[in-house]
C-alpha cells in the first residue's frame, strides 16, 4: 500500500523527512510512504481537512500546534494513542512539557514531532565591541533595552533588536513567561473558552515596552510574520539581538559564521522578575479518521518510527527543533552533542526550566489562526501610534472574543 505524509518543510528539512519516509518504506514490507511538502502550516491544515471530508486524506498530516482545537472539533482525526501499535512508542518517555500541549482531557490526540520555543540570539562580537559582557546576555526586557541603547550608541548598528510581528513571540511566549493565561477556563483546557486576556497586566507590560523600543528606534520592525527579514537584519549586522524560533538554529549558526561574528543564544527575556517558562511551538503528527484500517495501522507504524530516539536525535541535529523524548535527549547527551554545541542546548534547558501551569501548557481555541492575525494587525496600529496600548489590547479582546463566539455558535459537538 502507498500513502502520503503531508508536511510543511522545504530545503534540507524536507529532504530529511523524505529520507525518513524512504528508509521506513525500505524497512517495511508492502508499505510505501511519499513525503509531500504542502508549503505551510495553514495550507496543510486546510487541505488535510478538505481531503478528509472528501474521503481521500493523507496517511499522516503535520499540523501546527494552534490547529489542535480545530482538528479535535472537526472529528476528522483518530487520537494517536489509538493508532500507535502496542509497545511501539513509550508514551511515558515523551517530555511532559511537550506532550502536555497535545493532551486534552487526558488523551494524547497527536504525536509531538517538531517542537520548538523562542530564544534570543545575540551577536557576541557586537556585545564585546560595545563594552558589554558577551557571556552575560540580558534576561529581562529592561536589560534588552539597556543593551540595545549601549550597542546602538557604541557601534554602527541601526537598532538594538528585531523579531517578526507574530503573536507567538509578543503574546503567547510573553504570557507564558508571566504565568498569564490567554484564555479563560484554564487557557481553554477546562472547557470551551469565551474570554481573552490581551488587555491584562501581562499584555500591557510587553506592549508598553515594545512601543517604547519602537518609538526610540531601538526595535527594527521587519513586518508581519517577516521571519526572513528579521533574520537577515540580524545576520547582516543591522541589529545585535533577535528573537527567533529554535527551529532555525542550524541555518543561523551557519549565517553567523559566514558573516564573521560569534553567535550566542539565551533564554527569551521577559518583564523583570517573570521567568515562569515558555510555551512550545511547532507541530505534531495527526492520523485522519477516514483512512482504511490497514492504512491507519501503517501510518501508526510510520509515526512510531519517526519519534524513535535515533530519528529524533537526527532531526534535532539537522534543524534545532528539540527532541520530544527523553531517550533522544539521552542519546544526544551520550554522543557529546550538547557539550560540543551549547547553543542547541539553550532551548532544551529553557524548556526543562519551564514550570507546568495552564499558561505554559498553551492556549487552545478553534480560531487560533484568526486570533493571531487579529493580534498582528492591531499590533501594527499600536506601533504606528494609531491607537494606544490599552485601547489596542482591548480591541484585540473584542475582536477575538467575537470570533470565538461565532465559532462556538457553529460548533455542533458537545462539551
Place of cell 499558561: 359
235 & 347 share domain = no
215 CB neighbour count, 10 Å cutoff: 11
126 & 258 share domain = yes
24 & 38 share domain = yes
Which range marks the domain in which residue 232 is found? 118-278+360-410
Last residue of some domain: 322, 352, 382?
352
393 CB neighbour count, 10 Å cutoff: 25
272 & 379 share domain = yes
3-class state of residue 172 by DSSP: helix
Last residue of some domain: 352, 380, 398?
352
Task: Report if residue 404 sits inside a domain.
Answer: yes
Task: Report if residue 227 sits inside a domain.
Answer: yes
98 & 134 share domain = no
Contact residues for 211 (Cβ-Cβ < 8 A; gap 6+): 382, 383, 389
Mean pLDDT of 305-314: 97
88 & 205 share domain = no
Q: What are the tens digits of pLDDT across the range 266-301?
A: 999 999 878 899 999 999 999 999 999 999 999 999
pLDDT for 412 beyond 80: no
260 & 310 share domain = no
192 & 328 share domain = no
Q: What is the pTM of this model?
A: 0.93
42 & 157 share domain = no
* Residue 335 phi, psi dihedral angles, 5° rounding: -80, -5
Q: Using N-to-C axis directions, what is the helix angle for 368-384 and 201-215, rounded to 10°?
A: 50
What does the mean pLDDT of the chain come to? 95
pLDDT for 415 beyond 80: no
Domain with residue 343: its CATH number is 3.40.190.10
Q: What are the tens digits of pLDDT across the range 182-210?
A: 999 999 999 999 999 999 999 999 999 99
Alpha carbons 226 and 234: distance in angstroms, whole number: 13
Task: Look at the chain and report how many structural domains it folds into.
Answer: 2
Task: Report if residue 364 sits inside a domain.
Answer: yes
248 & 166 share domain = yes
128 & 163 share domain = yes
Note the pLDDT of residue 31.
97
Task: Please tell me the least confidently modeled range out of 37-41, 166-170, 410-414.
Answer: 410-414
Task: Report if residue 308 sits inside a domain.
Answer: yes
Alpha carbons 198 and 188: distance in angstroms, whole number: 15
pLDDT for 219 beyond 80: yes
* Residue 383 phi, psi dihedral angles, 5° rounding: -65, -35
Task: Report if residue 50 sits inside a domain.
Answer: yes
Amino acid at each position: 500500500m502507498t500513502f502520503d505524509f503531508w508536511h510543511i518543510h522545504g530545503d534540507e528539512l524536507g529532504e530529511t523527512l523524505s529520507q525518513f519516509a524512504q528508509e521506513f518504506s525500505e524497512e517495511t514490507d508492502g508499505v510505501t510512504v511519499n513525503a509531500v511538502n504542502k508549503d505551510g502550516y495553514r495550507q496543510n491544515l486546510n487541505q488535510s481537512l478538505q481531503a478528509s471530508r472528501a474521503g481521500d486524506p493523507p496517511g499522516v498530516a503535520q499540523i501546527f500546534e494552534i490547529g489542535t482545537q480545530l482538528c479535535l472539533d472537526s472529528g476528522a482525526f483518530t487520537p494517536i494513542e489509538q493508532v500507535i501499535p502496542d509497545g511501539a512508542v513509550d508514551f511515558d518517555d515523551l517530555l511532559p512539557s511537550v506532550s502536555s500541549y497535545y493532551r486534552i482531557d487526558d488523551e494524547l490526540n497527536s504525536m509531538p514531532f517538531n517542537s520548538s520555543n523562542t530564544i534570543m540570539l545575540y551577536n557576541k562580537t557586537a556585545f564585546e565591541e560595545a563594552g558589554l559582557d558577551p557571556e552575560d546576555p540580558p534576561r529581562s526586557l529592561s536589560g534588552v533595552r539597556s543593551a540595545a541603547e549601549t550597542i546602538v550608541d557604541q557601534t554602527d548598528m541601526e537598532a538594538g533588536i528585531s523579531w517578526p510581528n507574530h503573536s507567538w513571540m509578543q503574546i503567547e511566549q510573553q504570557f507564558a513567561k508571566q504565568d498569564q493565561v490567554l484564555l479563560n477556563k484554564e487557557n481553554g483546557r477546562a472547557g470551551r473558552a469565551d474570554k481573552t486576556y490581551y488587555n491584562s497586566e501581562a499584555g500591557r507590560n510587553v506592549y508598553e515596552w515594545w512601543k517604547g523600543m519602537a518609538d526610540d528606534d531601538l526595535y527594527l520592525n521587519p513586518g508581519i510574520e517577516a521571519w526572513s527579514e528579521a533574520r537577515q537584519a540580524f545576520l547582516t549586522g543591522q541589529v545585535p539581538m533577535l528573537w527567533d524560533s529554535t527551529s532555525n538554529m542550524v541555518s543561523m549558526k551557519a549565517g553567523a559564521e559566514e558573516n564573521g561574528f560569534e553567535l550566542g543564544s539565551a533564554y527569551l527575556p521577559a518583564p523583570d522578575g517573570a521567568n515562569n517558562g515558555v510555551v512550545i511551538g511547532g507541530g505534531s503528527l495527526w492520523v485522519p479518521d477516514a483512512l482504511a484500517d490497514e492504512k491507519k495501522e501503517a501510518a501508526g507504524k510510520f509515526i512510531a518510527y519517526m519519534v524513535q530516539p535515533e530519528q529524533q536525535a537526527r532531526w534535532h541535529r539537522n534543524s534545532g527543533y528539540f527532541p520530544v523524548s527523553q531517550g533522544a535527549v539521552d542519546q544526544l547527551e551520550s554522543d557529546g552533542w550538547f557539550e560540543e554545541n551549547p547553543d542547541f542546548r539553550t532551548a532544551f534547558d529553557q524548556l526543562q526550566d519551564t514550570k507546568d501551569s495552564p499558561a505554559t501548557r498553551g492556549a487552545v481555541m478553534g480560531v487560533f489562526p484568526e486570533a493571531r492575525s487579529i493580534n498582528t494587525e492591531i499590533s501594527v496600529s499600536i506601533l504606528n501610534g494609531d491607537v494606544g496600548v490599552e485601547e489596542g489590547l482591548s480591541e484585540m479582546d473584542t475582536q477575538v472574543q467575537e470570533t470565538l463566539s461565532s465559532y462556538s455558535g457553529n460548533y455542533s459537538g458537545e462539551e
